[in-house]
Chains A and B, each alone.
Chain A
Amino acid sequence: MQFALPDHGYNAGMADYPDHALEVGSPAPDFQLKATPDQWVGLEDFRGKTLIMAFYPADWSPVCTDQMSLYNEILPMFHEYGAEIVGISVDSAWCHAAFARHRNLHFPLLADFEPKGEVAKRYGAYEYKEGVARRALFVLDGEGVIRWSYVSPLGVNPGAEGILAALEQMQEQPVGASL
């Protein structure tokens, strides 16, 4: 006997979402996600500030090459540019809490947990087959417009040099200047 694949396969509902990462100049979709088991964070909370959104597949990747640990080390550099950073994955708020404590992380990790990956999908940053967020980076200006984005292959740490270059350019072309 053969089993037929259900017609709502991996890509169910995919058509409702962008199929690639939102581009420069797009308004960033709003979100409300848990930053801790009892605290919600949304795009509005960062209004007026530069925001780095770092989507990543999962907590607990190997330590010394871990993307979030790298951002943690260079947090002061981001702050010098007046930028805040959030990490976003489909892990739950409790998982994030344990991961952040273990790695001594000093910036929020947001749980794109329910509905799973909804925010990543809206940003075109979801890997349907794996069921995780892609390694997608977005830099938003204070008005919530995407000023830079980059997607790295799943297994490759995109590092920070692209973000820093973007922050530098944004200082030269402040909010309101034509893109």
Chain B
Amino acid sequence: MTVLMTPPRLTVPIGERDHVVGPETAPVAIVEYGDYECPFCGAAYPVVKALQKELGDNLRFAYRHFPLSQIHPHSFQAAEAAEAAGAQNRFWQMHDMLFEHQTRLGTQDLLVYASSVGAELEPFAEDLAEHRHAPRVREDFLSGVRSGVNGTPTFFVNGARHDGGYDLDSLLGVVQPYL
């Protein structure tokens, strides 16, 4: 039996289930697999913002969860919290809150962030307590593993895993040929 190792590619393309910013027709599509408690993802967060600003409508950006819960004990629940806020159309507001407060991701903190992004607290808290969005987080994780996500953050640029740095210049360099 031979298993050919092809360069890792995104196995699940951006679809309706994803949280996406940017037009479908954008020439550049970036998918990030991230972990809200990972310091490297925290460092990449403002870079993605800058990239979005720089590329405008030329960029379609999607975020998927890849919580390394054995080393980041709050990361899984933080991902669930982003989804719970997402169920109230506040995914990206919550996403930003989480990355901007990476060192405070306890349950009480999550409730405070939910209320500050304008989510209704009762359904949000219920979603967390019942782990309603846990299957979705696991689904993201699984799609990452099958696509060659080895750690966080991992970016896929137009379907191909980006193995270089994730400073602004590196990412701009990678997307340049598609513009």
User: Which chain A residues have a beta carbon within 8 Å of chain B's beta carbons?
Assistant: 24, 63-67, 69-70, 72-74, 77, 103-106, 147-148, 150, 157-162, 164-166, 169-170, 173, 179
**Cβ contacts B61-72/A at 8 Å (1 or 0 each):** 000000011110
Q: Is the CB of B1 within 8 A of A24?
A: yes
What does DSSP make chain B's interface, helix, strand, loop or mixed? loop
Q: How far is the CB of B72 from chain A (nearest CB, A)?
A: 8
Any A CB within 8 A of the CB of B149: yes
CA distance A70 to B69 in the complex (A): 10
Chain B neighbourhood of A150, CB < 8 A: 3, 5
Any A CB within 8 A of the CB of B58: no
B-side interface size class: 20 to 34
Q: Is the CB of B71 within 8 A of A159?
A: no
Query: What would be 18 A-B contacts, judged by CB atoms less than 8 Å apart?
Result: A24-B2, A64-B40, A64-B68, A64-B71, A64-B152, A69-B151, A70-B150, A72-B70, A74-B145, A106-B70, A158-B150, A159-B145, A159-B150, A162-B3, A165-B3, A166-B1, A169-B1, A179-B1
Q: How far is the CB of B155 from chain A (nearest CB, A)?
A: 13
Q: How far is the CB of A67 from chain B (nearest CB, A)?
A: 7
CA distance A17 to B38 in the complex (A): 41
Q: Is the CB of A147 within 8 A of B1?
A: yes
Q: How far is the CB of A71 from chain B (nearest CB, A)?
A: 10
Any A CB within 8 A of the CB of B8: yes
CA distance A159 to B163 in the complex (A): 13
CA distance A157 to B68 in the complex (A): 15
Beyond A64-B40, A164-B146: 19 further Cβ-contacts under 8 Å? A24-B2, A65-B151, A67-B150, A69-B68, A69-B70, A69-B151, A70-B68, A73-B70, A77-B145, A148-B3, A157-B150, A157-B151, A160-B145, A161-B8, A161-B147, A162-B3, A162-B5, A166-B3, A169-B1
